[in-house]
Amino acid sequence: MQVNSINSHNTNFNGLHVSKQTLKAIGCTRKELLRNSSIREAAEKYDVVIKAGNRDIDKFDPAYPMNTILRTMGTCMGVGIITALTLMATVDVASIGIIPCTLVCFIPTFATLWLNKKYDDHKFKPVKEIVIQAGKGVDANEDYIKNCETRTHVVDGTYAEIPLVEEVKEAENTEFDKKIKTYDTDDLFSAKKYLEALKKADIELLGGGDFFNRKIDEQGNTMLTQFFDVIPTEENEKEYKEILNILARVKGIDYNQKDGNGISCLEKIINSENQQVLPLIFGLEFDYSPEIEILYNHIQDEDFKYWFDHANLKFNFNDILKAVKLTSFDTLKELRPQLLSPLCDRKRLARQIEKILNDKHANSRNERDYHAQEYVHKYYKEFVNPNMNIPQNER
C-alpha cells in the first residue's frame, strides 16, 4: 500500500472520511468506528477513507485446495481401477477394443471433476467488506487517496483491530528503500547531487520528516546526517539554498541524529561553523554532550557564535535528571561540572529537577526521598538561587 503520511496530528479526527451510506451499510456510527484503536490512531496521523460492501469469500477451510486435489485423484484412481477390473472380468476386452475401454475408465474421472465444481459453486458465503485506505490527499469524491493503493479488510459482523499505522509505516519504508536504491549515496556529499536526489523523491510520499530520519546505508547514515557533510561554497550557493528551503518546509525531522561514526548533527553544525543552517534548528531541544561543549568553546567565528547563542536552543542534561530519579548522590557529584557549562540553562534544569522531586515526594513519604530532595537543593545551592528557581515545598 503506497501512502503519504501527515506530519501534524488530526486531533479532531478530521482525517476519517466515511459517508452516511457506508456507516449505514456496516451498521455503526462514526463515533463507534473511532473506538477501534487502529482506526483512531490512523485518523490522527493520516487521511483514512472507509467504504463498505458485500463480497463472497471462501468458507473457512485452509486445507481445501489440497483436499480437492487429493479427493479428485483418489476418486479417479479408485473408480478407474474398479471400472477397469469390472470390464476385464465381464467383457472380452480384445473384442471391444482398447480405446473404448479407456474412455469408459475416464468417465468417473470427469464425473468427479464435475462434482468438485458443483461443490466449489456452493463453498462461498457473503460477508461484509470494509475497504480502508490510509494516506494523504483525498480526492473530491473521496473515492481514493492520491498515490495510494486500496487496502481491503474483510470483517464478519465485527470491526477487527487493524494495524493501519503499522501498515502505512511499512509501506513508507518499502517505498523509501526502493527509492534509496536508485541513489549513489557516495554522491550525496555534493550539493548538486543531493538536490537532484531530493527532487527525484516525493518526500511527502516517503514519509515527510521520516524521509530524512531513516538510515540510507549499512553504516547508519541518514539523509539528514549526509546533508550536514555538504560544505556550502560560492559555487554551490544556489543548490545549497534550495536544499535549505526544502528542509525548512518538511515537518517531523529529527535533528538529534548521529551518523555512522556517532557524530551528531549539532556537532557537525558547530564544527563547520555553518551559520546558514541555524534557522533550521532554531528553538529545538538537543541532548547535551561533552563533545558539543568542547566544540562550542572552540568556535572561532564570532558572528556564528552570536547567532548560535541567539538560536534559542534548549539542552537536556539527561545524565543529571537520571541521577536525580535514581537518587544517585555519587553520580550527581561527578556531574557537578555540567552545571557550569555555558550550554546549561540552570533555571530550566532547576524546574525539571523540581518536577522530578515533587513526583517522588508525592509518590513516596519515606525518609529517603525527603533527604534526597534536601540533598539536591543543597547540590544546586552553589550555582542557583533556590528561593528563585527551586521553591521549597511546604511540609
- Kindly state whether residues 297 and 232 are assigned to the same domain: yes
Domain that holds residue 272: 186-389
pLDDT of residue 297: 96
Domain presence at residue 11: no
- Kindly state whether residues 25 and 91 are assigned to the same domain: no
Domain presence at residue 9: no
For residue 198, pLDDT over 50 is answered with yes
Classify burial at 117, counting beta carbons within 10 Å of its beta carbon; exposed 0-12, middle 13-18, buried 19 or more.
exposed
Domain presence at residue 35: yes
Domain presence at residue 89: yes
- Among 11-20, 59-68, 118-127, the range with the most confident prediction by mean pLDDT is 11-20
Domain presence at residue 194: yes
**112, 138, 171: which is the final residue of a domain?**
171
pLDDT of residue 280: 95
- Kindly state whether residues 363 and 241 are assigned to the same domain: yes
**pLDDT tens-digit profile of 99-143?**
565 555 566 666 666 666 666 655 555 666 677 777 766 655 545
Q: Please give the tally of structural domains in the chain.
A: 3
- Kindly state whether residues 74 and 203 are assigned to the same domain: no
- Kindly state whether residues 287 and 372 are assigned to the same domain: yes
**pLDDT tens-digit profile of 136-174?**
666 555 455 544 444 555 554 445 566 777 877 777 788
Report pTM.
Answer: 0.63
- Among 39-48, 50-59, 254-263, 366-375, the range with the most confident prediction by mean pLDDT is 254-263
**171, 206, 234: which is the final residue of a domain?**
171
Domain presence at residue 4: no
For residue 245, pLDDT over 60 is answered with yes
- Kindly state whether residues 190 and 248 are assigned to the same domain: yes
- Kindly state whether residues 215 and 167 are assigned to the same domain: no
Domain presence at residue 116: yes
- Kindly state whether residues 74 and 41 are assigned to the same domain: no
- Kindly state whether residues 156 and 264 are assigned to the same domain: no
pLDDT of residue 1: 29
pLDDT of residue 391: 44
- Kindly state whether residues 93 and 208 are assigned to the same domain: no
For residue 314, pLDDT over 50 is answered with yes
- Kindly state whether residues 299 and 329 are assigned to the same domain: yes
Choose between 56 and 111: higher pLDDT: 111
pLDDT of residue 96: 53
Q: Kindly list the strands in the beta sheet with 151-155, ordered across the sheet, starting from the edge strand earlier in the chain.
A: 16-18, 47-58, 124-135, 151-155
Domain presence at residue 354: yes
- Kindly state whether residues 194 and 338 are assigned to the same domain: yes
Percent of the chain past pLDDT 70, that is, above it, reads 62
